[in-house]
Amino acid sequence: VSPSSLGFQLHVWFGSLIVGKLTAPAMSTDGRVQMVKLAFEQADTNKDGKLDRKELSRIFAFIRCKLNDRQKDQLFDEADADKSGYLNYNEFIDWCVSVGTVTSEVADMAKADTSG
C-alpha cells in the first residue's frame, strides 16, 4: 500500500473519528485550530510535547485504523520530517495537512497559536 493511499484512508478515519468536527461546515476556523491542538494533546500521553511511534499507534487503534506495523512505520517515517524519531506539534500539523484532515489556513493558525 502506498503512502498516498494510506494517507487517504487516514484522512477518512482520522477526519471522521478523531477530529471529525474539523470538517463540519458550521465550525469556525478558531474551533478547528482548537480541535487540532486537542487531538495532539490527547495523543501525547506522556505530555513531553512530541509523539513517539507508540503514541501515534494509539491514535490508529483509537480510530480503528487497521494498519500493520510496517504501514504504521511508513506513515510515521513520512511524517517525521526531521528524522528525530518523534513527531513534534508542527510535524503533526503538517501531516494532518498532507492527509487532508486540515487546511493550510488552519495549520498556519495552529502553528502560530502558542496559547495553552
Higher-pLDDT residue of 80, 36: 80
Question: What would the grid cell of residue 115 be?
Answer: 496559547
Instruction: Please state, in angstroms and as integers, the Cα–Cα distance from residue 80 to each residue in 38, 40, 70, 88, following that order.
Output: 20, 15, 15, 8
pLDDT at 87 over 90: yes
How would you class 96 by CB atoms within 10 Å of its CB: exposed for 0-12, middle for 13-18, buried for 19 or more? Answer: buried
Interatomic CA distance for residues 40 and 49, integer angstroms: 9
pTM of the model as a whole: 0.75
pLDDT at 14 over 70: no
